[in-house]
Chains A and B, each alone.
Chain A
Amino acid sequence: MADMITYREAVAEGIAREMRRDASVVCLGEDIGEAGGVFKTTAGLWAEFGPERVWDTPISEQAIVGAAMGAAMTGMRPVAEIMFSDFLACCWDYIANEIPKVRYMTGGQVTVPLVVRTANGGGLGFGAQHSQATENWALTVPGLKIAAPATPADVIGMMAAAIRSDDPVVFFEHKGLLASKGTPAPPEHVVELGRAAVVREGADVTLVALASMVPVALRAAARLAQEGVEAEVVDLRCLVPLDMSTVLASLGRTSRLVTVEENPYQGGWGATVVSVVADEGFALLDAPVRRVAGECVPLPFADALEEEVIPTVDKVVAAVRSLAAY
């Protein structure tokens, strides 16, 4: 369908729109230039903006993110690519110690308007070191904004907001969604960070999901509807800022909550959502909460094993059934 755009194309389109609008937006990363990125998410940028603004780096994750930080502190708006989100660990000092703290520890003197983009998540059989869903690593560090779009239009709108943000944003692009298609974003499309979306309405249970888990939750909701259970699906879109008002409002309509997250249960973002609900929305609940999350094991290689570890439609359906009967 010619009027559709893939998630993969939306990444490059979202960056290109901002680079056209603002000359201070520059990109750097491994293989992002003429090669267009290993996931082809920067295809076309090098041809349009040239090697001065779309810079191929060596395999030097610390230097990529550290240099992006220095550039951001001095008037640029860098968009740095860390190829696989697993590799964020190689530059974790910058993500955990430098970028999110410099504004605070300088008493507000220094602002770091940068975006670190990275391909996140499993489901493609890449094995334990190229498949992790790591957005909750970033969630543990005050000072980072965390975006994880689920649709091509949101990729473009949230990329615009992330690049325009005066605060650092870690932008998780899900590998499992790259080939997915959606409606294109209109010109000047900006999706404010921290605005969750109710992507399916329903009165019986609230499914809160992020990134690749949004289509999983929607497929589960479609199957549940055949059983007479209407699930409302909330796409969080961002973990910081976290839009709990949309979650709590949805719970006010459904009184049942299931979080659907790809990262391991241990320390996952669903725990934060659930704890806020326990703190502030306990009276809204008519049933226990359920967290559908990854198993607390490294991601295995074989499809049959990987499916055992990460959430699937069947697992979400089973969790909702257990609550519907409560």
Chain B
Amino acid sequence: MDSAELLARYEQMVVIRRTEKAAHDLFLQGLVKGTTHLAAGHEAIAVGASGALRDDDYVFATYRGHHHALARGATPEECLAELMSRATGLCGAKGGSMHLTKASTGMLGSYAIVGAHLPMAVGAAWSARMRGSGQIAVAFFGDGATNIGAFHEALNLAAVWKLPVLFVCENNLYMEYTPIADVTAVDRPAADRAPAYGIPGEVVDGNDVVAVQEAVAALARRARAGDGPAVLEAATYRHFGHSRTDPATYRPAEEVERWLKHDPLDLARGRLTELGVPAETVTEADERARDVVHRAVEAAKSAPPPDPREALTDVWADGGAAWRT
């Protein structure tokens, strides 16, 4: 990856980090209701993977999916407006934090039932192959999803049909509040299980955007060549707790400190310095990201709430919700 590309990836990660921080602040101000599952700390996975994908590839994410939506074409303003229940939100404020979706860019949804979207990605990959489109599908999921039945059904089906789908696990060490190691029989909950389905299971530093992009690019090439699915397990860490009510006090202080020192933004900055990018160039990227998110917050704040009548639209393809003729 050259310095210009890395700088662009870095700036995208800063935009995501700042958007997550804004979501957190807006929650504390009472402007975001319900809950949020912030992905601060996971940025390199979404950005690195997206950097390796075609614009028309399909992505399926979880309720912790802000970073994927942003990396796959949603704007900070659309996302924050959705979280703030505004008419201009990405899903018209019908989805909320856990369901960010931008179908026009292949971001086919964020699903809040753990593991449910893995078979959907298999189906999208099947569809791509049927249509000969050359697209692939990627399912991002957490370590907790690897103990769901759908994970195993999806891997087997993808393998037996040799479909162009990548399963990318964001292993942040905790399934909600419980260490994944306490409830899982293997060390690498996703990668260790891939061989049981006859497919590759690789591990990557999920906080290193360059490593993630290279790993996804290699597996994507393989999938597009007809060699079938693969599992990529990306090691990462949550900066916040599971959801907004979770202070994550169950995590050992030294573990938190160790991971915060391994921050994806710091890693990318270090690589930029190594590539000879001047500090002021990086600072300019930081400032652009700050401005984008600041304007997004202001725009979302001033956007109107949805028309209450919208509650009765969009159940059916005709736009309405009538269940009787």
Interface residues in chain A, defined as those with a beta carbon under 8 Å from any beta carbon in chain B: 26, 52, 55, 57-58, 60, 62-76, 78, 93-94, 97-98, 102-111, 113, 142-143, 165-167, 194-195, 240-245, 276
Contact = CB atoms under 8 A, between A and B. Distances in A.
29 contacts: A26-B130, A55-B161, A58-B160, A62-B149, A63-B122, A64-B119, A66-B117, A66-B150, A67-B119, A67-B122, A67-B157, A68-B123, A70-B119, A71-B130, A73-B120, A73-B124, A76-B130, A97-B116, A102-B101, A103-B314, A107-B95, A108-B92, A109-B91, A109-B103, A113-B317, A142-B323, A143-B315, A166-B317, A244-B324
Contacts of B149: 62
Most buried by B among A65, A70, A94, A240: A70
B250 interface: no
A194 B322 CA distance: 11
Nearest to A243: B325
A69 B119 contact: yes
Interface string B52-93: 000000101000000000000000000000000000011111
A64 B150 CA distance: 10
Interface string B274-285: 000000000000
Contacts of A240: 323
B7 interface: no
A63 B157 contact: yes
Interface string B95-139: 110010111100011010100111111111111101100000100
Contacts of A104: 94, 314-315
A276 B323 CA distance: 12
B152 to A, nearest CB: 8
A245 B127 contact: no
Nearest to A94: B116
A106 B313 CA distance: 11
Contacts of B131: 75-76
10 smallest CB-CB distances across A and B, nearest first, come from A66-B119, A70-B123, A107-B92, A166-B317, A67-B123, A70-B120, A63-B153, A107-B91, A60-B153, A194-B325
B112 to A, nearest CB: 8
B103 A110 contact: yes
A69 B314 contact: no
Contacts of B160: 58
B121 A70 contact: yes
A103 B317 CA distance: 8
A108 B130 CA distance: 25
A103 B319 CA distance: 10
A98 B111 contact: yes
B260 interface: no
A36 to B, nearest CB: 21
Contact of A241 (B126, B130, B154, B322): B322
B117 to A, nearest CB: 8
Given A63-B150, A70-B119, A102-B101, 8 more contacts: A57-B157, A58-B160, A70-B122, A97-B116, A102-B109, A109-B91, A110-B108, A241-B322
A60 B154 CA distance: 9
A167 B96 CA distance: 23
